[in-house]
């Protein structure tokens, strides 16, 4: 029990590396396993007939043979569900209507009593196609010569911060026109121009996409889905199926990996569509690993043309950045990736003259969507390598050049917004120190060359202007706390952090807080999506507000009962104490039953439920032609990474000797979780830099398995990784915190590319920096035989 006389508070759970297995109030498995006990033999299995062509008109579909197959419950096609849907740009339907736009696009689906029957039924569906010319290159796709992939683009709904060009394949063209680049080039003593190509890659979550949908006889639907966006799914699918959001419930158990792939709506609408045709029957669809690779979201490809120049004193004067994004057959989510790259297109550099064209292009490739980093890895791959080369050309030490040109508090950044406080200088110093960047070190073998690379980054939460969060805090008779929230646990530790925040704001022990789950749109408070590294900041603000609301209610009750001022009261470790009268009482019972008035005069209080919400209200739109405006984003997280590598001259294999990553997290609510996110993000970034690539040939993915699609594993990361973080508080973050989930994979490709250049003098035009690619480049340069 707290000691009111001491007036000393215990240590806060904020900033503590707390961990607990029981923070989740109800532990449930993923959507894969929901059906085992819940549905029994009434469960139907779905299979999808997919397009074999990258671009073709659908002339006819005959489902009659499939419908007659014993065991088939329902067969659906695009004509059954013609409504367009999408999170940002509504440009896709659940099933293809008049044409198919990529290999793997859903054309029809079957629900049957077994997977085998569903697959056989799909084989019986007859589709007649008229093959059309396809687009496999974004720059060509943006030209007037390319065939139109979405002739009806001008009819699609899109928000007023996206700028499609009807009559073309350009679904969003974001521009920055700041200063006068043409005049600035004449003032530049040194100029670097480079073109980089960044390939599509896959998220490869361990758990593939899965969903079960069931509509009851009253027309109310429940979807169980492995999802980062249960509330967004409720909204989008309800609109597509013409049912109200109130009649659609999404339950999202713990997710077995997301990285952006399970944001928005992809395959979840398919079992939902089938379920509308067989009321009372649950329909399950699980993607195979091969389907996971190319039928859902992938990271968009990018071709970027970078031109950057500085004066003789090393001040960067101008940057031109033209980016052609290979966004695939639908850009309903990817159009906002392109927007995010546009408003961050300068990188974390103070550059007075900037010209950016960030162009989202329809192609007949898989659909590009959210991926950890949301366009920033691709963007920084180009600008950070060009600036690294510029520093060398101008004769500057690269760390000095970065610090000289990095953004500072109060600077007017690329969109006209004033930069907030942040610690990018400290991040650069941390990394340079950790890898001893200025020290020239010899390779460990005469058959190797050695080099060091460094790169900086920034990233803002890439959202709509008004993404909301809400939370509730409820107390039980024993004084313990349950927190309701709508954000999802993906393994990043958000439930732990929210429990810490609730405990600190309310005044209870961390061990006495539980998170209600699973996330359920019928009972959980609203959360926009678990994306954009925004939960610690946005949902954290809502949880803190809900806990503060509950705290206020409790103190008001006790103050009235004790005839004291609430300002003289506190809650310490679950006990209300008075610093004036030195009274104290535990939360147990009073948070349900209240407290008695004097002389049996009734009762004060009742069940305590705190409510909180948060939505940024200060994001403004930007000018269509210049990209300028008061405030494009809520804030930026900044950071730096560096690598010390050796390259085997006989094989081209890269060996990482040591690495470092430093990010300004505002306030580390849980330092160990912060370190875990930085380490994991760095490894994922390194994997994308060394190995990962969706190999596409005429729209066909040629490596849709882990046999041919390589990701980093434990032997690839057997090196020291230093992760010193910086804490410069964010003014609108809870306890000053800001997100750091995506950021650690943003500068990794550029840092590695810079290290390769430092070791070999060769500037490769893009990842993956495979042993074969590096060896052949060294061979062509005469560095090896």
pLDDT tens across 324-350, in order? 999 999 999 999 999 999 999 999 999
Please give the pLDDT value at position 29. Answer: 42
pLDDT tens for residues 162-191? Answer: 999 999 999 999 999 999 999 999 999 999
Nearest to 704 by CA among 34, 104, 89, 30: 104
Q: How far apart are CA 741 and CA 490, in angstroms?
A: 11
Q: Give 713's contacts (C-beta < 8 A, 6+ positions apart).
A: none
Are the CB atoms for 423 and 728 separated by under 8 Å?
yes
Are the CB atoms for 553 and 257 separated by under 8 Å?
no
Tell me the CA end-to-end span of the chain in Å, nearest whole number. Answer: 75
CATH fit for domain 4-31+467-614, picks 3.30.930.10, 3.30.365.10, 3.20.20.140, 1.20.1260.10: 3.30.365.10
Neighbours of 589 (CB within 10 A): 14
Please say if the pLDDT value at position 352 is more than 80. yes
Domains 4-31+467-614 and 301-463+621-780 alike in fold: yes
Nearest to 122 by CA among 43, 48, 62: 48
Q: How far apart are CA 412 and CA 420, in angstroms?
A: 10
pLDDT tens for residues 45-80? Answer: 999 999 999 999 999 999 999 999 999 999 999 999
Q: Determine which of 181-185, 216-220, 341-345, 596-600 has the lowest per-residue pLDDT on average.
A: 596-600
Please give the pLDDT value at position 785. Answer: 82
- As a three-state string, the secondary structure of 269-298 is HHHHHHHCCCCCCCEEEECCHHHHHHCCCE
Q: Give 237's contacts (C-beta < 8 A, 6+ positions apart).
A: 85, 223, 248, 265, 268, 269, 272
Q: How far apart are CA 615 and CA 526, in angstroms?
A: 11
Q: Percent of the chain scored above 90 by pLDDT?
A: 94
* Fold of the domain spanning 301-463+621-780: Aldehyde Oxidoreductase; domain 4 (3.30.365)
Please say if the pLDDT value at position 603 is more than 90. yes
φ and ψ of 155, to 5 deg: -95, -10
pLDDT tens for residues 664-704? Answer: 999 999 999 999 999 999 999 999 999 999 999 999 999 99
Are the CB atoms for 656 and 748 separated by under 8 Å?
no
Please give the pLDDT value at position 16. Answer: 87
Nearest to 25 by CA among 718, 682, 489: 489
Please say if the pLDDT value at position 26 is more than 50. no
Mean pLDDT over all residues of the chain? 96
Exposure of 599 in the CB half-sphere (CA atoms within 13 A)? 0
pLDDT interval class at 283 (50, 70, 90): very high
Q: How far apart are CA 174 and CA 338, in angstroms?
A: 7
Q: Where are the domains of the chain?
A: 4-31+467-614, 40-132+209-286, 301-463+621-780
Q: How far apart are CA 545 and CA 485, in angstroms?
A: 12
pLDDT tens for residues 462-510? Answer: 999 999 999 999 999 999 999 999 999 999 999 999 999 999 999 999 9
pLDDT tens for residues 507-521? Answer: 999 999 999 999 999
The helix, strand and coil proportions of the chain, stated in percent and rounded to the nearest 5, come to: 30, 25, 45
Please say if the pLDDT value at position 760 is more than 90. yes
Are the CB atoms for 641 and 453 separated by under 8 Å?
no
Instruction: Count, in order, helices (H) and strands (E) of the chain.
Output: 18, 31
* Fold of the domain spanning 40-132+209-286: Aldehyde Oxidoreductase; domain 3 (3.90.1170)
- Residue identified by tokens 């003259």 is 353
Please give the pLDDT value at position 37. Answer: 66
Q: Give 112's contacts (C-beta < 8 A, 6+ positions apart).
A: 44, 45, 47, 69, 71, 72, 73, 118, 121
């Amino acid at each position: 029990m707290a000691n009111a006389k001491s007036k000393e508070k215990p240590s806060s759970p904020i900033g503590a590396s707390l961990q607990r297995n029981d923070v989740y109030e109800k532990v449930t498995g993923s959507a894969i396993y929901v059906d085992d006990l819940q549905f029994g033999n009434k469960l139907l299995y779905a299979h999808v007939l997919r397009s074999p062509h990258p671009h073709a008109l659908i002339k006819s579909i005959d489902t009659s043979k499939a419908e007659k197959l014993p065991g088939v419950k329902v067969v659906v096609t695009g004509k059954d569900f013609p409504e367009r849907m999408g999170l940002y740009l509504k440009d896709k339907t659940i099933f293809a209507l008049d044409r198919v736009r990529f290999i793997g696009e859903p054309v029809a689906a079957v629900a049957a009593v077994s997977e085998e029957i569903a697959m056989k039924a799909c084989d019986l569906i007859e589709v007649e196609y008229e093959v059309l010319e396809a687009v496999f290159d974004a720059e060509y796709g943006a030209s007037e010569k390319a065939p139109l992939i979405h002739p009806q683009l001008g009819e699609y709904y899109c928000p007023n911060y996206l700028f499609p060009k009807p009559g073309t394949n350009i679904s969003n063209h974001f521009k920055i026109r700041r200063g006068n680049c043409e005049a600035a080039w004449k003032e530049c003593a040194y100029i670097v121009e480079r073109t980089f190509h960044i390939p599509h890659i896959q998220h490869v979550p361990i758990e593939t996409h899965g969903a079960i949908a069931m509509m009851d006889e009253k027309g109310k639907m429940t979807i169980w889905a492995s999802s980062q966006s249960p509330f967004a799914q409720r909204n989008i699918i309800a609109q597509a199926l013409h049912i109200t959001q109130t009649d659609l419930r999404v339950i999202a158990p713990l997710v077995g990996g997301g990285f952006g792939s399970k944001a928005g709506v992809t395959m979840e609408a398919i079992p939902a569509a089938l379920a509308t045709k067989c009321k009372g029957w649950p329909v399950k669809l699980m993607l195979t690993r091969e389907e996971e690779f190319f039928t859902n979201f992938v990271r968009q490809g990018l071709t970027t043309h970078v031109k950057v120049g500085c004066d003789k004193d090393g001040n960067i004067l101008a940057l031109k950045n033209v980016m052609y994004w290979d966004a695939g057959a639908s850009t309903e989510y990817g159009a906002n990736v392109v927007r995010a790259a546009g408003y961050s297109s300068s990188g974390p550099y103070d550059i007075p003259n900037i010209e950016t064209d960030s162009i989202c292009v329809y192609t007949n490739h898989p659909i590009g969507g959210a991926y950890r980093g949301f366009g920033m890895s691709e963007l920084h791959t180009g600008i950070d390598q060009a600036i690294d080369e510029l520093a060398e050309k101008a004769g500057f030490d690269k760390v000095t050049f970065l610090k000289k040109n990095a953004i500072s508090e109060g600077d007017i950044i690329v969109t006209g917004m004033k930069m907030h406080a942040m610690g990018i200088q400290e991040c650069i110093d941390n990394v340079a120190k950790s890898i001893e960047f200025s020290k020239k070190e010899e390779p460990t073998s005469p058959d190797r060359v050695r080099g060091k690379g460094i790169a900086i980054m920034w990233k803002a939460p890439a959202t709509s202007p008004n993404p909301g969060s809400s939370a509730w805090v409820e107390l039980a008779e024993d004084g313990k706390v349950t927190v309701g929230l709508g954000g999802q646990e993906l393994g990043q530790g958000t439930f732990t952090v929210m429990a810490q925040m609730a405990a600190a704001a309310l005044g209870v022990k961390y061990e006495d807080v539980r998170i209600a789950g699973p996330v359920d749109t019928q009972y959980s408070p609203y959360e926009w999506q678990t994306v954009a590294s925004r939960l610690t900041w946005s949902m954290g603000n809502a949880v803190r507000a809900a806990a503060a609301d509950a705290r206020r209610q409790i103190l008001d009750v006790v103050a009235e009962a004790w005839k004291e001022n609430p300002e003289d009261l506190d809650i310490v470790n679950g006990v209300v104490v008075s610093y004036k009268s030195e009274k104290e009482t535990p939360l147990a019972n009073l948070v349900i039953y209240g407290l008695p008035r004097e002389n049996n005069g009734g009762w004060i209080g009742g069940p305590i439920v705190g409510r909180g919400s948060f939505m940024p209200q200060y994001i403004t739109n930007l000018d269509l032609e210049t990209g300028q405006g008061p405030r494009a984003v809520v804030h930026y997280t900044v950071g730096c990474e560096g690598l010390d590598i050796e390259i085997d001259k006989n094989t081209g294999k890269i060996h990482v000797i040591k690495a470092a990553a430093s990010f300004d997290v505002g306030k580390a609510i849980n330092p160990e979780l912060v370190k875990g996110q930085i380490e994991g993000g760095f490894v994922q970034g390194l994997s994308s830099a060394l190995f990962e690539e969706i190999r596409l040939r005429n729209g066909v993915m040629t490596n849709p398995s882990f046999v041919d699609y390589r990701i980093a594993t434990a032997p690839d990361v057997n090196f020291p990784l230093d992760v010193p973080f910086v804490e410069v508080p964010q003014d609108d973050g809870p306890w000053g915190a800001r997100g750091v989930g995506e950021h650690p994979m943003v500068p990794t490709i550029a840092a590695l590319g810079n290290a390769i250049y430092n070791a070999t003098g060769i500037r490769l035009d893009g990842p993956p920096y495979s042993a074969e690619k590096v060896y052949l480049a060294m061979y062509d340069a005469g560095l090896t035989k």
